[in-house]
Amino acid sequence: MKMLVLQHNEVEGPAMIADWADDHDYDIEILRPDLGVNIAKIRPDQFDLLVIMGGGNSAEDTLDWLADERDLIHRAHNAHKPIFGVCLGAQQIALAFGALVDNLITTEIGWMPVQSTNSSIELPDELNVLHWHNQQFTIPADGVRLFKDDLDRNQGFMLGDNIIGLQFHFEIGQDDLNRLIDFDRDFIDATDAPNEVQQTAEQISNGKGSDENRAVLYQLLDSITK
């Protein structure tokens, strides 16, 4: 089996998603559409799971490679392939299925709680997760909200039984986190941290997610690939 990963910068790779793939005997292929890799002719029979990672672009940027990603999402969906999106990847899925992506009033960055909102998947009531975004999505038609935050903003959704999008990051471990902080320090410095929804680089580096985060990530991936 093959997991196809669309990655959009040097540091936001599949991380713990790759650990899950290794545990489930998936081969992993990572492509960089943002660097000009042509994905327009990829067929759904060439992969078994599509994963779209985060990145610094907006899903609404008028770039050919972002449009090509959404076309690939539709091809995968029509073939009933499982799709998992993180941050920008979740926004790409949402936009592909007619939802909206718009700017937050305030950037969310750092370790903050989300609450589970859907009873069809048995999840912990609350988890502490890493936020790293200044945009949000609405839930696609026929989608179900999986997670919200303390301000009742959408943080995750499921579409059908094979598509999940998460605005936040379950997948990032400590080494990956430190690389992300170094890579995206300008994004951190542009905030008004520290406050309720923004943390400093030191706070982010010293923070941690809930102990269950890896298990919940695995559970969600299991649920769309069963």
In the structure, what pLDDT confidence band is assigned to residue 96 with cuts at 50, 70 and 90? very high
Question: Are 144 and 118 in contact, with CB atoms under 8 Å apart?
Answer: yes
Q: How far is CA 218 from CA 47, 88, 129, 178, in A?
A: 19, 20, 15, 23
Percent of the chain with pLDDT over 90: 95
Whole-number Å distance between alpha carbons of 69 and 173:
26
Average pLDDT estimate for 146-164: 96
Ramachandran quadrant class, 56 (left: phi over 0; alpha: psi -120 to 50; beta: rest): alpha
Whole-number Å distance between alpha carbons of 67 and 85:
15
Assess whether pLDDT exceeds 80 at residue 154: yes
Amino acid at the residue 117 = T
Task: Output the 3-class SS for 16-67.
Answer: HHHHHHHHCCCEEEEECHHHCCCCCCCCHHHCCEEEECCCCCCCCCCCHHHH
Assess whether pLDDT exceeds 80 at residue 119: no
In the structure, what pLDDT confidence band is assigned to residue 120 with cuts at 50, 70 and 90? confident
Whole-number Å distance between alpha carbons of 177 and 13:
11
Q: What is the pLDDT of residue 118?
A: 83
Q: What is the pLDDT of residue 48?
A: 98
E-strand ranges in the chain read 2-6, 27-31, 49-52, 83-86, 101-116, 126-137, 143-149, 154-159, 163-166
Continuous segment of H or E residues that includes residue 74: helix 64-78
**Domains in the chain and their CATH numbers?**
2-225 (3.40.50.880)
Can you list the pairs that 22-26 forms with residues at least 24 positions away whose Cβ atoms lie under 8 Å?
Answer: 23/218, 24/225, 25/1, 26/1, 26/2
13 SS3 class: coil
Whole-number Å distance between alpha carbons of 107 and 191:
7
Average pLDDT estimate for 93-107: 96
Which residue has better confidence, 119 or 121?
121
Q: Return the structure tokens found at 182.
A: 């170094």
Q: How far is CA 166 from CA 27, 140, 169, 223, in A?
A: 23, 13, 7, 14
Whole-number Å distance between alpha carbons of 136 and 175:
26
Q: What is the pLDDT of residue 64?
A: 98
Q: What is the pLDDT of residues 194-217, one digit of tens each?
A: 999 999 999 999 999 999 999 999
Sign of CA dihedral 88, 89, 90, 96: positive
